[in-house]
Chain A
Amino acid sequence: MDLHDLYRQVILDHNKSPRNFGRLVPADAEADGHNPLCGDRLHVSLRLAGERVPELRFDGSGCAISVASASLMSEAVSGRTRGEIESLSDEVIQMLTQSAYTPKRDLGKLMALAGVHEFPARVKCASLCWHTLHAALAQTQATVSTE
């Protein structure tokens, strides 16, 4: 277990200068995420164009892992469809929770989070943003289904 597996340069960089930081007002969907164990709070807001998410922003306070993960997520999902986001989310969660998991495709910069699974106490920090995004998207689906 090496600290540098967790705190890779990409993580430290995204923690220091988070991308897509802020809030979309108005947003087509938004959700709050909370990790009560460490007090991390995250807000995810996004714009929808049909099935596509052209823009996503996040803000909140949290540790380096949660901030970097949200920042990396915001870059990775912008411009993708719901379906693409769901399958990307599955891949990332599996990578975070399983040892020696080989992603089915190149996850790009998100691979910087591959070391997190060696630090079980930190998995929730990295996955919080994905769960929050999921909640935001589920909300819009619920709205769609009632109309």
Chain B
Amino acid sequence: MSLPAISEGNEYLDSAGRLRAERVRADFPILARQINGRPLCYLDSGASSQQPTPVLAAVTYYATHQHANVHRGVHTLSQLATSVFEGARETVRAAINARSTREIIFVRGTTEAINLVAASFGRGAVGPGDEVLISQLEHHANIVPWQLLCAERGARLVAVPLTPEGQVDTDEFRRHLSPRTRLVALAHISNVLGTVLPVQELTAIAHQHGVPLLLDGAQAIAHQSVDVQALGCDFYAFSGHKMYAPTGIGVLYGREALLKAMPPWQSGGDMILSVSIQGSTWNDLPYKFEAGTPNIGGAVGLAAAFDYLRGVGREAIAAHEHELAAHASEALQRIPGLKLIGTAPGKAAVISFTLEGVHPHDIGTILDHEGVAIRTGHHCAMPLMDYLGLPATARASFGCYNTHADVETLVRALHKVREVFG
């Protein structure tokens, strides 16, 4: 069940229910600083987002008032830390609408979540001659773990090609599902193209063939409400640091029946019930997959970030980001020689582009000089770049704190690039 939306008296929204981005900005201390003598224009949230005061305060309060190890001691602080940590798990569960906290596994981030599934679920499900199906637009984190698994198991990694707009077509997807497909792993939103994949349909198709599906939600989690039951996926992976929480914390959601049948991955303390030299028995979910002392402060920060997003209003944030994406796409296209990479309808506020005669790395340096932070390079998606025939792109990615003024600053800075390069 999702939590009720806050509407009345929400200071983050105007009377029409639209996001007041200037109010949101005030919560992010780093946005007040200057870079190279210019006000920071941060357009790299797709790589890592900034943290608002309530998240920073929650992490600090935990460290200054509640910290001890979890699930271990009888002393007051240990119990307090345990209840805070498990409270954070419940916040995450409610935010993504999982059935149970047993389905919420804290990990370091999306990469670790996918590696967990590859190592634990993958080793059991994928054998010689089998296939793992991904798409051509995946991030390396959703390619390399499957490559290693396939190499180890004598299986084959298959990638669905893209439409010219940069979308995964459902018919094409169906054609690449084979009787040997044992797992599908797809991005929810592309980190390069901004494409929002039709994940509900793709999941339904995979399930018609009896194949489980993992979604890499790294880019999606900050941009829209994620409801894992509505999506129907079997696994959902995401990182805190792309949704206004600290680095080093993330979540693997997995359907309980699958998690239950999976063997442990990393092992040690906290994941066991009993240990003798002859053998050990495993703890219940989710602890079976959480060996060692977890990132407790990170989990607290992650829960605070979910609370923050809910408090601001997820629908208003999504609507605001869509407006920024439309504004940026329209304004950038008017710059001579600029080409947008990824034009799928309804795309997220992740705008990749190239500028004729100027390498993205040079764009990045000149923009940085103007205080504008963007990402340049291959975006950890080299197979996609090869497919597009590009060595690199420049990418501006927007978050809840970006404004239309940021779009204008970006456009001005790109004209500066043209000025330097003639």
Contacts and interface: CB of A to CB of B under 8 A. Distances in A.
Interface of A: 1, 3, 6-7, 12, 16, 37-41, 61-65, 67, 119, 121-122, 125
Most buried by A among B359, B369, B392, B422: B359
A3 B366 contact: yes
Contacts, number: 51
Contacts of A65: 361-362
16 contacts: A1-B36, A3-B365, A6-B365, A7-B362, A37-B377, A38-B360, A38-B392, A40-B361, A40-B391, A41-B391, A62-B391, A63-B361, A63-B362, A64-B358, A64-B421, A67-B359
Contacts of B358: 64
Contacts of B391: 39-41, 61-62
B420 A62 contact: no
Size bracket of the B interface: 20 to 34
Given A3-B366, A63-B361, A122-B365, A39 B378 contact: yes
A65 B421 CA distance: 12
Interface in B348-371: 357-362, 365-366, 369
B370 to A, nearest CB: 9
A62 B391 CA distance: 8
Contacts of A122: 361, 365
B369 A64 contact: no
B392 A119 contact: no
Contact of A38 (B357, B377, B422): B377
B205 interface: no
Interface of B: 36, 357-362, 365-366, 369, 376-378, 382, 385, 391-392, 420-422
Nearest to B358: A64
A3 B382 CA distance: 30
A49 B358 CA distance: 37
Contacts of A1: 36, 369
Nearest to A6: B365
A39 B354 CA distance: 14
Contact of A64 (B362, B376, B377): B362
Contacts of A12: 420-422
A41 B392 CA distance: 11
A12 B376 CA distance: 20
A6 B420 CA distance: 11
A39 B369 contact: no
B359 A63 contact: yes
Q: Among B378, B382, B391, which residue has the most Cβ atoms of chain A within 10 A?
A: B391
Nearest to B420: A7
Nearest to A1: B36
Contacts of A41: 391
A16 B376 CA distance: 20
Contacts of B421: 7, 12, 64
Nearest to B422: A12
Contacts of A63: 359-362
Contacts of B366: 3, 7
B377 A39 contact: yes
Contacts of B361: 38, 40, 62-63, 65, 122, 125
Contacts of A7: 362, 366, 420-421
B365 A119 contact: yes
B392 A39 contact: yes
